[in-house]
Amino acid sequence: MPAPISGCYVSAQPADAIRRARHFVLLYKEETERLLSSQPQGISPDLALVTGLKSGDQGAMAQLYDRYSSVVYAVALRVLGDTGAAEDVLQEVFLQLWRKPSAFDAARGSLGSWLAVITRNRAIDSLRKRRPETDIEDVVLSVAPDLAGDAERSRAAEKVRGVMGAMSPAQRSALEMAYWQGMSHTEIADKTGEPLGTVKTRIRAGLIALRKAFQT
């Protein structure tokens, strides 16, 4: 607590907080405007389509489905291994987007990446027969590469497979068990007989390795 001066607490913190908040809001608006203005003419950008969802544009929903349903379905099928269950998750994810389009934060990453994360989480919840643990509005992520197009996603997938292939079998296995099977680190440790700390470190190191591959 700051020292009282002439009987009142003098602190620069609230003023700084307001300045920082304004600064961030301005940055956010600038970034949004930049994203909007940088889209090629004649192509419906994700952000414009998401804006369309906010006003109830069903055509925008159809376009977004056509762009991302293959990604969403592939992720759900990989987790669940069952086409019917994967189709249910696909339906649920796009309905969530329809109901809460403002949950997607365009300033933080691509829509495809965000949908992939949402889908994986929903699929794991379904696999483990548990209630959804995370609201889609709480899923905020930061992705450097632009993965909106099929070509970009294909190149990214190739790079990810290369990084995974370069990992030790134990690390790759820990990461895949956690990611695709939704196993907790305790369950992985029980299954592999490895210490809990080792499993945790391997999972994080694996994710960081992926990040580094896309930073170079």
- Residue 29 beta carbon to other proteins: minimum distance, rounded to whole angstroms: 9
Q: By CB under 8 A, is residue 24 in contact with other proteins?
A: yes
Q: Which of 164, 172, 191, 194 binds other proteins (CB under 8 A)?
A: 164
Smallest gap from residue 151 Cβ to other proteins (A): 13
Smallest separation (angstroms) from other proteins to the CB of 6: 9
**Exposure string for 91-127, b = 16+ CB within 10 A, e = fewer:** ebbbebbeeebebbebeebbbbbbbbbbbbbbbbbbb
134 near other proteins, rule: CB under 8 A: yes
Sequence-distant (6+) residues with CB within 8 A of 104 are: 50, 97, 111, 114
Q: What are phi and psi of 9, to 5 degrees?
A: -80, 120
Q: Is 168 in the site for other proteins (CB under 8 A)?
A: no
Distance (Å, whole) CA 115 – CA 148: 11
Query: Of 88-127, which residues contact other proteins (CB under 8 A)?
Result: 90-91, 94-95, 98-99, 102-105, 108-109, 112-114, 116-117, 119-121, 124-125
Q: Which residues pair with 9 in a beta bridge?
A: 4
Task: Report if residue 8 touches other proteins, rule: CB under 8 A.
Answer: yes
Structure tokens at 186: 């305790």
Q: Which is nearer to other proteins, 42 or 84 (CB)?
A: 84
Region 56-75 residues binding other proteins, contact defined as CB under 8 A? 56, 58, 61-62, 65-66, 69-75
Segment 30 to 49, residues that bind other proteins, using CB under 8 A = none
- 35, 139, 191, 194: which one contacts other proteins (CB under 8 A)? 139
